[in-house]
């Protein structure tokens, strides 16, 4: 399974351009980690904020925006403890759904949580 790994902070359901799916697919094979930060309140990142931040990180890496007919929705809050996992779904315009795994890397010295986003390259 090819993956996209993006380090980020937070995510929820958000939609945005048709180029996103193509750019995301092309980026999967070549993408390395990158860092995006945001602040964290408490011991978890709520599913809504987690989705917002994941989309922002993926868009920054691909240079494309998500089509309005597509969405990324997180099903769980992400605990800030290193190794904690939250599952998300990326639904593309065709209706296909890709699993997205978000793993916390813990809170850094800047009091912000870092996480890795891994998008499956094959739909369910």
Q: Would you say residue 85 has pLDDT above 60? A: yes
For the stretch 12-33, pLDDT in tens is 333 333 334 444 543 443 333 3
Interior CA angle at 62 toward 7 and 119, to 5°? Answer: 55
Round to whole Å and give the CA distance between 49 and 45.
7
Phi, psi of 116 (to 5 degrees): -110, 135
For the stretch 102-115, pLDDT in tens is 888 888 777 778 88
């Amino acid at each position: 399974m090819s993956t996209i790994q993006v380090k980020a902070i937070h995510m929820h359901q958000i939609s945005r351009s048709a180029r996103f799916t193509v750019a995301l697919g092309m980026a999967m094979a070549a993408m390395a980690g990158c860092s995006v930060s945001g602040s964290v309140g408490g011991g978890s990142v709520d599913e809504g904020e987690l989705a917002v931040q994941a989309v922002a990180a993926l868009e920054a890496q691909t240079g494309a925006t998500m089509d309005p007919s597509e969405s990324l929705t997180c099903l769980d809050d992400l605990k800030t403890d290193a190794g904690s996992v939250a599952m998300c779904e990326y639904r593309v315009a065709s209706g296909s759904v890709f699993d997205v795994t978000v793993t916390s890397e813990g809170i850094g010295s800047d009091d912000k949580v870092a996480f890795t986003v891994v998008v499956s390259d094959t739909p369910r």
